[in-house]
Chain A
Amino acid sequence: RKEVEQDPGPFNVPEGATVAFNCTYSNSASQSFFWYRQDCRKEPKLLMSVYSSGNEDGRFTAQLNRASQYISLLIRDSKLSDSATYLCVVNRRAGNAGKSTFGDGTTLTVKP
């Protein structure tokens, strides 16, 4: 079983739709959580951190359920520019460093 699992999609949605991505992680010692966005053939860029209390940034809402080891990302009012691959990332301590484990990503295509 992979340490971080995401539904690969693809998700094809019309503009204005609401779409939700899920991610599960297996290591209960995981300490911090993030969503990244990656455009085709580009480097991943941080979208938002994920906190236990949940957090919102404009149209994006991230939630963490530590008991279920589950992370979600909700995108409301989808825009064409939201088309990208969304990567779930889970960090845990590894000695003096942290180890980030990336999911394989969920691909979103927003269509007019």
Chain B
Amino acid sequence: SQTIHQWPATLVQPVGSPLSLECTVEGTSNPNLYWYRQAAGRGLQLLFYSVGIGQISSEVPQNLSASRPQDRQFILSSKKLLLSDSGFYLCAWSVNGNTEAFFGQGTRLTVV
């Protein structure tokens, strides 16, 4: 069966520090991969998606970047965090663009 791992679960980082969140999927090949952010009390905002290694599409301009160095690995990064980067970050995968997505457990990031 397929599983998705995301870490760390919580993170407190100072303003201006770098960020690296990692997500890996097991049990499937060539998944679509996604990074979402959820502000408190709000829905999910799609940040990045990827249909293959090295292929990244950005949905909104921001202080973040994403990379997919391997088929089942998706990384969210920032060189310098801002206070506004705080939020609940969720990685997800799907078989293709028309099927349901399955989420990792999320990373709660607080920038202080």
Residues of A within 8 A of B (CB): 4, 31-32, 34, 41-46, 49, 87, 89, 91, 93-105
A100/B51 in contact, CB under 8 A: no
Known A-B contacts A41-B108, A43-B104, A43-B105; the reply to A96 vs B43 at CB < 8 A is no
Kindly report which residue of chain B lies nearest to residue A101, judged by CB atoms: B46
Known A-B contacts A44-B44, A46-B102, A102-B43; the reply to A97 vs B90 at CB < 8 A is no
User: Which of B41, B50, B98, B106 has a CB less than 8 Å from the CB of A32?
Assistant: B98
B49/A99 in contact, CB under 8 A: yes
A97/B32 in contact, CB under 8 A: yes
A97/B105 in contact, CB under 8 A: no
Summarize A's interface: helix, strand, loop or mixed. Answer: strand
Kindly report which residue of chain B lies nearest to residue A45, judged by CB atoms: B103
Which A residues are in CB contact (< 8 Å) with B97? 91, 93-94, 96-99
User: Which of A4, A49, A104 has a CB less than 8 Å from the CB of B100?
Assistant: A49
Kindly report which residue of chain B lies nearest to residue A6, judged by CB atoms: B43
CA distance A100 to B97 in the complex (A): 8
CA distance A44 to B42 in the complex (A): 12
Per-residue CB proximity of B27-67 to A under 8 Å, as 1/0? Answer: 00000101010000111101001110000010100000000
Expressed in whole angstroms, the minimum distance between the Cβ of A76 and any Cβ of chain B is 23
Kindly report which residue of chain A lies nearest to residue B97, judged by CB atoms: A98
> B101 on the interface (CB 8 Å rule)?
yes
> B2 on the interface (CB 8 Å rule)?
no
